[in-house]
Structure 1
């Protein structure tokens, strides 16, 4: 197995239980892929995902691989309110966790009568898109004929003057929500998954539907605690890990994958090879060689965004009643979308501020805060692609100035932030590239736009090779990575007859 990311580990544990002898070769010194922690002076920060959605994915993994359930290995709590939103005009709204009626009431109270009903009508259409696409995009292997998934399942409103359905997230917000703040709310969900609202298909409406229906969860000790638990489960199932071991080639014999070659010259035979590394990196670094261009695996071409995360060590305790997650929306959403499309960060991005009330992540009497923004993967002064970090590898002054703007925006969520700041650490797509092999963050699989947002299928063009993790079906995100591991394990154990979870 190549790489010890969450999708690869989810596959490894399941395969080990099925009787396979599994060895994981990881080029870095640790596991978890993008699910990392930065620690300093007693403060700890998640530098990857900060919350978990669809925890049932990992509950199923732990159920199928051992006696101890997930909640015995990780302390999960529902985040309530699920999120607080601060808009440029000064209004703010806190949305409850997994409560449709509570969300309607909150929106009506903060944004005016009728706001909740418009959002609820939108979620009803999002539910239709979810019902139409859930199984093929989340629970089943990607079909050889993806043409049905190239069409957007998000339906047009059934009433009113609009007859032509919206094609992008931004268009849904403008035409159907008819309030700049509601449109910003929708944009925020897309941005959180690394999607540009101006190019993301309308089917991305399933993302707020998923979160508001199934809830948001936090792991005590940060989401790295979930990676720790999955790693420990793999060890308990006798999965072997070899760290600081870079795979340089998937060895092919007789027209199928037969093992891997390592940078230190070793060769390892295998009946199956699972690649958890980013598919673009495998192609870029020629770890896998395809003879013809039409045999190259698909990977998402719809976006090339990354994340800048600013870790803030703050003096003084978190105030009572503070929200765990606050989204501070950009004062210039059109400018932010234009900047993403043009390959440069906006002047004032939308930022997500996470303030976990977690004594494992901060010294007594202090607070650890992360502020995250979605940015072009290429950097502050030029475009980039899925593989490289572009200008994020340099341009320190421009990076610092962008982080300053992020912290300034975060002040709307954290009282007295500037006065309380002890120190900060800035992490860019260059750090993501170092840790994972790709600067950008893959988004979830989405139908529509001719298949531009479909990731690589789990079975590679080379027989015996499989892809697991965020760059393969069903795409990026903690829950999606766990689903990817389950699909790969099912394909290996049950073969071509495997039709997904039931």
Structure 2
């Protein structure tokens, strides 16, 4: 049995504690905040409740595996997990209204043909087929196994070049290149492709392999946890307690201690020493063994308490696309501060547990953008509501109150051909990295995999 200290009780820390406790280790989790969950937070006021982090779940197989490996129960016995159907609605500046089915690539192709004209579905399908090739080539090294040494080439299978271009040197091939060369710069298809990447903090200069994000979502589906994604954090926390993990909230770790070149415990901000055989850190703090990967994109979230019932037939997730796609791409490339008329994700779950009664609705707006100190985010929330109204989604007269939250950093997924997040092992024996800033990167599924990979490296007691 090893004594293990985990720094941070976010989803990576919770998943690691559940797995390592099941393997027979003695686990202590130190969390600076007063509760667990990290970015998977919850805000409650006047009978309304909101997720302050992710609002939907991709690749639930990661947490199904955690549930089975740590307790031999299906995830569906721990939370009420339901598919989001339809998967999304997309409102474009030219008035196009596109509704995409969940986990149905054939249905997506049909919807695209209807919205954008015959052949659009086939063109999109060719790109997502290449995304499938990326998934098959990178699923194990970039999702399920320790990060291999060296740079991984982007396995995106580029289409053959024709004409004089075939004689030019083959440089890097980006998501923007896919939009231009394979989607013909079609404004709707381009906006759809880049939105998947933008949600993960990636710009149009991301490797073409970022098409895997669209492939994964449209092939494996999008899911919702009733009660909000915070209910998933609650379930994993309960599993940690069942496996004997000790939680120390309000305990900020100031330093990872070493002896003989090996991690031997942590020192808290209060000066307390906690001895350990192994330390896992989900905190991108140089004093704790590693620094946050580069990237300056953040998120702005606006939580809206609305009067009036959720209208019949309302889609769970609506994406209002930017009025100036070229301008937004430039803003993302240069990490400019809160842009005007951006792409906005609107979450409107049909979940009675999130509202005081049936005559109210809880809505969350999310924008991925640069966030700078001094930005007037409440004024920006008003701008976003005006922007939605111009797109035909006017919520302004129903707003009882709004709460604005922001984060200055979006953990991005590791992508072959791009910047890879640091590996789970470190140069210090006994010290490991987990969480969104480590391999395999950001997102609920990937932070869960970082815990699984690291638990595999450590092994049973």
Q: TM-score, normalised by structure 2?
A: 0.94
Please tell me whether residue 421 in structure 1 is matched to residue 399 in structure 2. yes
Change (3 A) 1:224 1:113: same
Counterpart position of 1:374? 368
Paired residue for 1:41, among 46, 59, 65?
Answer: 46
Please tell me whether residue 210 in structure 1 is matched to residue 188 in structure 2. no
* CA RMSD of superposed structures (Å): 1.7
Q: Distance in 2 between matches of 1:175 and 1:112?
A: 18
3-state SS in 2 of match to 1:171? helix
Counterpart position of 1:331? 323
Q: Which stretch shows the higher mean deviation, 344-353 or 246-255?
A: 344-353
Please tell me whether residue 344 in structure 1 is matched to residue 337 in structure 2. yes
Counterpart position of 1:62? 67
Could you tell me whether the CA contact under 8 Å between 2:281 and 2:288 is conserved in 1? no
Could you tell me whether the CA contact under 8 Å between 1:87 and 1:330 is conserved in 2? yes
Please tell me whether residue 240 in structure 1 is matched to residue 240 in structure 2. no
Please tell me whether residue 113 in structure 1 is matched to residue 118 in structure 2. yes
Shift of 1:287: 3.2
Q: Which stretch shows the higher mean deviation, 66-75 or 464-473?
A: 66-75
Q: Distance in 2 between matches of 1:298 and 1:424?
A: 34
Shift of 1:81: 0.8
3-state SS in 2 of match to 1:16? helix
Shift of 1:348: 1.2
Please tell me whether residue 264 in structure 1 is matched to residue 270 in structure 2. yes
Shift of 1:489: 0.6
Deviation sequence 1:4-61 (CA, Å, 0-9, x none)? 0111111111111111000000011010110011111111111111110100000000
Deviation sequence 1:325-344 (CA, Å, 0-9, x none)? 01100011111122233332
Counterpart position of 1:489? 455
Q: Distance in 2 between matches of 1:217 and 1:483?
A: 18
3-state SS in 2 of match to 1:428? strand
Counterpart position of 2:198? 191
Please tell me whether residue 353 in structure 1 is matched to residue 346 in structure 2. yes
Please tell me whether residue 155 in structure 1 is matched to residue 162 in structure 2. no
Could you tell me whether the CA contact under 8 Å between 1:371 and 1:407 is conserved in 2? no
Could you tell me whether the CA contact under 8 Å between 2:388 and 2:394 is conserved in 1? no
Change (3 A) 1:155 1:221: same
3-state SS in 2 of match to 1:411? helix
3-state SS in 2 of match to 1:30? coil
Please tell me whether residue 142 in structure 1 is matched to residue 147 in structure 2. yes
3-state SS in 2 of match to 1:39? strand
Q: Distance in 2 between matches of 1:469 and 1:81?
A: 30
Deviation sequence 1:289-345 (CA, Å, 0-9, x none)? xxxxxxxx57533x3211000001111111111110011000111111222333322
Deviation sequence 1:444-474 (CA, Å, 0-9, x none)? 110113xx2x111001111100011111110
Q: Distance in 1 between matches of 2:450 and 2:288?
A: 21
Deviation sequence 1:217-274 (CA, Å, 0-9, x none)? 0000110010111101101111110000010110000110000011111101101001
Q: Which stretch shows the higher mean deviation, 365-374 or 338-347?
A: 338-347
Q: Distance in 1 between matches of 2:291 and 2:134?
A: 23
Could you tell me whether the CA contact under 8 Å between 1:79 and 1:216 is conserved in 2? yes
Counterpart position of 2:412? 443
Shift of 1:347: 1.6
Could you tell me whether the CA contact under 8 Å between 2:23 and 2:460 is conserved in 1? no
Shift of 1:409: 2.8
Paired residue for 2:255, among 239, 249, 257?
Answer: 249
Could you tell me whether the CA contact under 8 Å between 1:326 and 1:413 is conserved in 2? no
Paired residue for 2:78, among 66, 73, 80?
Answer: 73
Q: Distance in 1 between matches of 2:291 and 2:399?
A: 44
Shift of 1:415: 4.6
Change (3 A) 1:412 1:13: farther
Shift of 1:172: 1.1
3-state SS in 1 of match to 2:7? coil
Paired residue for 1:24, among 29, 46, 52?
Answer: 29
Q: Distance in 1 between matches of 2:391 and 2:449?
A: 33
Q: Distance in 2 between matches of 1:487 and 1:355?
A: 34
Change (3 A) 1:404 1:170: farther
Q: TM-score, normalised by structure 1?
A: 0.86
Could you tell me whether the CA contact under 8 Å between 2:434 and 2:451 is conserved in 1? yes
Counterpart position of 1:407? 385
Could you tell me whether the CA contact under 8 Å between 2:56 and 2:224 is conserved in 1? yes
3-state SS in 2 of match to 1:257? strand
Q: Which has the higher strand share?
A: 2
Q: Distance in 1 between matches of 2:106 and 2:341?
A: 33
Could you tell me whether the CA contact under 8 Å between 1:184 and 1:329 is conserved in 2? yes
Deviation sequence 1:87-145 (CA, Å, 0-9, x none)? 110001111001011001000011111110100011111111111111110011012x2
Counterpart position of 1:174? 180
Q: Distance in 1 between matches of 2:245 and 2:67?
A: 15
Could you tell me whether the CA contact under 8 Å between 1:299 and 1:456 is conserved in 2? no
Counterpart position of 1:384? none
Q: Mark the runs of 5 or more structure 2 residues left unpaired by the alignment.
A: 1-5
Q: Mark the runs of 5 or more structure 1 residues left unpaired by the alignment.
A: 289-296, 380-390, 430-438, 496-502
Shift of 1:427: 0.8
